Structure 1
Amino acid sequence: MNQRAETLQRWIAQQHDLPLGDCRLEQVAGDASFRQYYRLHLPDGTPRVLMDAPPEHENNQAFVAIARDWRAAGLPMPTLYAMDLAAGFVELEDLGDDVMHHHLTTEAAASAWFERALQLLERVQRLAPSSTLPAYDRALLARELDLFPDWCLSRLLEIPAPPAWPMLREALIDNAITQPQVAVHRDFDAMNLMVRDDTLWLIDFQDAVQGPLSYDLVSLLRGRYRLWSRECMDAFIGTFHQRAQADGRLPADSDVATFVCQAEAMGVQRSLKVLGIFCRLALRDAKPRYLERLPHFLAHLRQGLAALPAHGEFLTWIDTAFIPALCRELDRRGIAHSLQASAS
């Protein structure tokens, strides 16, 4: 057990007035951040989850505020029992180990669970207070997009951004800031939706912002666990559009074809950001396994760009320059992939 885990163990023992030996911590699955999670069983058998989030790296104040505000709004959030924000320790309700992505075993099952997740997203957008959240503004969108040329192109592949990049970058930012603004979870994905008592629960919400209506929609649909067909994407987005019109999240005269393009452009922004983040995790944080996920999000990026004819030049560059360079780098590192350098 490392020093922080030992400090966490002493802290939780004090919270419950227990001998240190009665506070045995079991590490549970972590994530791409600096946070660590542990499970503790209290003497009566009640399980709790302990979050260790070093305050120099994680925004613990935001985590606590969002958990409280969204739970008060009627959303399925874990209860917070104790916290030491200066140390970065939080005692949470244990939601178990059943995550939505475990249920995506067949096409039919995946469709049903994604529909349930979209219903939860609608509740978040209608109920979650957003006025106190940071704005997903032009500066933040730009910083996220710049992760792609900075980490993926310059540092991993050592190739320049294409001439079409500045125009695409500005178009994606304009698309995001002109959409209706709502509470955005910012990592609304099958990995961050827990299943307990046949209900979906929200986790990993500390980076929530006030931002574009379509962001969490495509965060789910163009996430880590599924590559949907064009027909399925249109059906999901069309249903979301219809419901958003009905409850006022979108104006009554909103055109579904226009919204599909807005959503796909938002998905392109997110895919570019994710590609950059995964390269940063591999190169800066010594987590090379994230390079194995690049082809999946590259597929999302290509599908999104294919729905945006105005950016065909960038898609051509992806096929003729980026994919060959990525193939060479993955091959050099011995990472298996199914990419073809001659992709068209």
Structure 2
Amino acid sequence: MSSSRIDALTRWAAKQNGLDVANITIAPAGGDASFRSYFRLTLPDGSTQIVMDAPPAQENSAPFVAIGRRWYAAGLPVPNIHAADLDSGFLLLDDLGDTPLQAFFTNEQSTQRSHQQALDLIGQLQNRANPKALPAYDAALLGRELDLFPDWCLDKWLGLSIPDSWAALHAQLIEQALEQPVVSVHRDFDAMNIMVLNQHLYMIDFQDAVAGPLSYDVISLLRGRYCRFSNEQFSQLVQHFYDQARLDGRLSRHVSSANFLSQCHSMAAQRSLKVLGIFCRLTLRDQKQGYLARLPHFLEHLEDSLNSLPQHDEFSQWVSATLRPAITQRLADTLI
């Protein structure tokens, strides 16, 4: 980020608070996988705000602002957006601190409790946020996401051919997703996007929210980057969500817990394949370092999901016999 842009951002933030630049301090507060970066603004009284810098040439902040203001008005725990200059790419937000949910994954009990709290937060989102104002997570979008796997992981990074079993898997994963109730989906409900402040959970990075499958955010959380649950643990957490969704009417009594668990495994396979493709694209196209090292974790998520979907045994066997060795060897050659 250029010094002139930092100066412009600082002047803008000061103006929004009716202050002179000399009366505030601003310091880096982190970034993410996009082109966005964040700064902590300290005011004369010691209170703080977060200034988001989202260069408009690379980032369209209009969805973040629109969704954030709707969800805040609906009583959901998201940062209040105090000001936004979309032409410049500057936003002024509540400061939710520096503690993401994964900071509480310190032992089995705390990890379980934290995930249950986050699953309950998904329930709040699904109950309070109207999905009709969001883009549809339809067959076309689900398909484009799945295609990231053969395009970027297999072809461009590994140089592998698509297995014959791919077409059936592709079609059935989309079909399973579309069978589910449509709700507001955060779409990146990973622990890193859940901030903990004063023992309350808050959602951030919701700009890609869509109207889509009930289980998607559940999978973003339970098959995320920080934990790998056993089949028993995964099933227990899914059951926790299922019980709440049945209780408040998000899920029909006609959907059994076994059927919903199967839908979750299908959704997990879809997301794991997408993530494998995205991480390869971030590495190859965007020159972002560090994502390749995360591939084995999401490969394990994919294998866990496929092991619970016997109808996709052929693809599962290809993953074990061909994909895993290829990724292992490519990483060994790349990360030396």
Q: Distance in 2 between matches of 1:105 and 1:276?
A: 30
The equivalent residue for 1:204 is 205
Counterpart secondary structure, 2:202: strand
Q: Distance in 1 between matches of 2:288 and 2:307?
A: 31
The equivalent residue for 1:340 is none
The equivalent residue for 2:178 is 177
Counterpart secondary structure, 1:48: strand
Alignment of 1:230-245 (within 5 A): 230-245=231-246
Per-residue CA distance 1:162-209 (angstroms, 9 max, x = gap): 111111111111111121000000011111110111100110111100
Instruction: Note the residue ranges of structure 2 that are not aligned, 5 or more in a row.
Output: none
Per-residue CA distance 1:12-50 (angstroms, 9 max, x = gap): 233234333434321112111111111110122110100
The equivalent residue for 1:257 is 258
- The alpha-carbon deviation at position 253 of structure 1 amounts to 1.7
Counterpart secondary structure, 2:34: coil
The equivalent residue for 1:281 is 282
The equivalent residue for 1:268 is 269
The equivalent residue for 2:310 is 309
RMSD between aligned residues: 1.2
The equivalent residue for 2:21 is 20
The equivalent residue for 1:78 is 79
Per-residue CA distance 1:207-237 (angstroms, 9 max, x = gap): 1000000000111000011000000111111
**Greater alpha carbon shift after TM alignment, 61-70 vs 221-230:** 61-70
- The alpha-carbon deviation at position 249 of structure 1 amounts to 0.7
The equivalent residue for 2:124 is 123
1:69–1:129 CA contact under 8 A, matched in 2: no
Counterpart secondary structure, 1:188: coil
> Is 1:106–2:113 an aligned residue pair?
no
Instruction: Note the residue ranges of structure 1 that are not aligned, 5 or more in a row.
Output: 336-344
Q: Distance in 1 between matches of 2:60 and 2:122?
A: 23
The residue identity in structure 1 corresponding to 2:35 is F
Per-residue CA distance 1:89-139 (angstroms, 9 max, x = gap): 100010010111011011111001101111111111111121100000111
**Aligned-pair identity (%):** 50
Counterpart secondary structure, 1:235: helix
* TM-score normalised by L of structure 1: 0.95
> Is 1:221–2:222 an aligned residue pair?
yes
Counterpart secondary structure, 1:25: strand
Report the CA distance shift for 1:241/1:23 in structure 2 as closer, same or farther (over 3 A): same
Per-residue CA distance 1:264-319 (angstroms, 9 max, x = gap): 10011011111111111111111131000000000000000001000011111111
